[in-house]
Amino acid sequence: MSKSAAAFEAVIGLEVHVQIKTRSKMFTRVAAGYGHEPNTLTDPVVLALPGVLPVMNKAALDAIIKAGLLLGCRIAPVCKWDRKNYFYPDSPKNYQISQYDQPICLGGSVEIELPGAARNVMGEHQAVPLTRIHLEEDVGKLNHGASDSLVDYNRAGTPLMEIVSDPAMHSADEAYAYLQSLRATMIYGGISDCDMEKGQLRCDANISIRPVGETKLGTKVELKNLNSISFVRDGIAHEIKRQIAVLERGGTIVQETRDYDGMTGTSQSLRTKEEAHDYRYFPDPDLMPVKVDEAWKARLQAECPELPFPKQRRFIEQYQLPYTLTSVLVWDRALADYFEETVKLTGAAKAQAVGNWIVNDLLRELGNAKLTLAESRVRPAHLAALVQLIDAGTVLTNAAKEVFVEMAATGDRPEAIAERRGLKAAPTNTGELEQWCRDAIAANAKALAEFKAGKDSAINAFKGPVMKAAKGKANPKLVDETLRRLLAAAN
């Protein structure tokens, strides 16, 4: 970046489309889904045949209200439906049923975390304000070939939320964090699976630049075809550089829509940007406005889950977990639930041990076997039993690693595996153990002096020789207790 580039500030707003997970489409009972033969999820309403009328899908309304509650939006007491008129092959009606001046959700925000100075330290948190969330029907999908384009209407009519942020972000990293957090919120709430490969989450970015200190927004450019969260970050970074380069050459930014190619890292102009009046919005005459009362909102509020960032703060405070563990656990609701179910069985004192087993061992074994958490043979009760065996000294940590691998492969209980494989720690002869400890202390006067001087970690110098004498099968807890007793009595 040139020296003059530092004089500019980027201003970014995102328009995120999220497909709502419902069994049927927005205004008809035909099934919603992905991966079906082209044009099989259609009916007269989807195809806009003469004489058909739309009927609202209440499950989709529930989902958008729930999304608004999760994001702290004000839920409008009344919202209405509008027709957004445009001619394009992916819309059989030549208009899209949407919401224009009376959306269902207003305001709200998305909490994001910017990268910390170090990977194991919590970064700065901030709230990105939202403008609105409205509900509409999705359009079909055009599949372009070498000499023709084919349209598949399976997606047409699927319930779709458009989540519009304020122009309040200033870097590609902020936009990336925003999308990660928003996606997690939608998945946590059971509102959408947000699979970008299936078109369940799509993002357009509005980007402008202005001199640092200026409050007036610059000319915005809309970036489309950002088909992965990483491409959103890369595309925004590319567009910021492009606009700065244009201004540095003495050029002018043109309001337009550009196509970003994530594979080549380049963009090209598609068209000049339409204004809202180009769509000739007007109220849909076939659909009545929707009234949302307090009872409706209260029912959905009761279904709202704890979101990742509040859960992360709770895990750190309640279980004293390090940031590194919580950063893995909380972003998958099923994984966080698995952790807490296990901790209920072991007690909170063993929470960090449980977290370590999940993050380091369970996820590794699932990845190697290409299994999901739901398919795991290691249930919370199995993991809790293994942690308790280690705590009791029945199975030592190194042996427990072998037990876990077999437990993941077979689903057998850890105590049965330890018995079968001869991995239980040998019963300790206390007299013999005490003699090994005495020998270790006598052989290391330096460590003894350091321990007596207050260096607690010096005790570790004695543990190695003791475990070696015990051929690795002594109870570590008993070794520690015996050493401390003898060291306290040593002259």
Q: What is the pLDDT of residues 131-149, one digit of tens each?
A: 999 999 999 999 988 899 9
> Which residue in this structure is represented by tokens 């075809």?
225
Report which of 385, 411, 383, 386 is spatially closest to residue 400, judged by C-alpha positions. Answer: 386
- Residue 258 β-bridge partners: 223, 269
Rounded Cα distance between 437 and 402, Å, is: 28
* Residue 456: count of CB within 10 angstroms of its CB: 9
Rounded Cα distance between 474 and 491, Å, is: 26
412 or 275, which is more confident: 412
What number is the average pLDDT over the span 383-387?
97
Please say if the pLDDT value at position 122 is more than 90: no
pLDDT at 396: 85
Please say if the pLDDT value at position 9 is more than 80: yes
User: Do the strands 125-137 and 141-144 form a parallel or antiparallel pair, or are they unpaired?
Assistant: unpaired
What number is the average pLDDT over the span 41-52?
96
Q: Which two tokens stand for residue 63?
A: 């989902």
464-483 residue pLDDT tens: 999 889 877 777 778 899 99
162-184 residue pLDDT tens: 999 999 999 999 999 999 999 99
SS (H, E, C) 216-267: CCCCCEEEEEECCHHHHHHHHHHHHHHHHHHHHCCCCCCCEEEEEECCCCEE
What number is the average pLDDT over the span 109-120?
80
Please say if the pLDDT value at position 276 is more than 60: no
Share of residues in the chain with pLDDT > 70 (%): 96
pLDDT at 478: 85
Fold exhibited by the domain 430-489: Arc Repressor Mutant, subunit A (1.10.10)
Task: Count Cβ neighbours within 10 Å for each residue of 15-30 and write b for 16 or more, e otherwise.
Answer: bbbbbbbbebbbbbeb
Rounded Cα distance between 58 and 35, Å, is: 24
What number is the average pLDDT over the span 93-98?
95
pLDDT at 432: 86
Specify the range with the lowest mean pLDDT, choosing from 111-115, 136-140, 319-323, 407-411.
Answer: 111-115
Q: Which two tokens stand for residue 322?
A: 């390090």
pLDDT at 463: 93
Q: How confident is the model at residue 274 (pLDDT cuts 50, 70, 90)?
A: low
Segments making up each domain of the chain, as ranges: 3-299, 308-421, 430-489
What number is the average pLDDT over the span 43-58?
96
The H-or-E segment that residue 270 falls in is: strand 266-272
3 state DSSP class of 428: coil
Rounded Cα distance between 247 and 266, Å, is: 18
pLDDT at 426: 67
Q: How confident is the model at residue 491 (pLDDT cuts 50, 70, 90)?
A: low
CB proximity list for 451: less than 8 A, separation 6 or greater: 458, 459, 487
Please say if the pLDDT value at position 489 is more than 90: no
Please say if the pLDDT value at position 125 is more than 60: yes
What number is the average pLDDT over the span 29-56?
96
Report which of 266, 206, 223 is spatially closest to residue 10, judged by C-alpha positions. Answer: 206
Please say if the pLDDT value at position 348 is more than 60: yes
Please say if the pLDDT value at position 119 is more than 70: no
Rounded Cα distance between 270 and 323, Å, is: 44
Q: Which two tokens stand for residue 85?
A: 């008129």
pLDDT at 385: 97
Task: Count Cβ neighbours within 10 Å for each residue of 246-256 and write b for 16 or more, e otherwise.
Answer: ebeeeeebeee
Rounded Cα distance between 80 and 369, Å, is: 49
CB distance 436 to 478 below 8 Å: no
Q: How far is CA 353 from the centre of its chain?
A: 24
181-233 residue pLDDT tens: 999 999 999 999 999 999 999 999 999 999 999 999 999 999 987 989 999 99
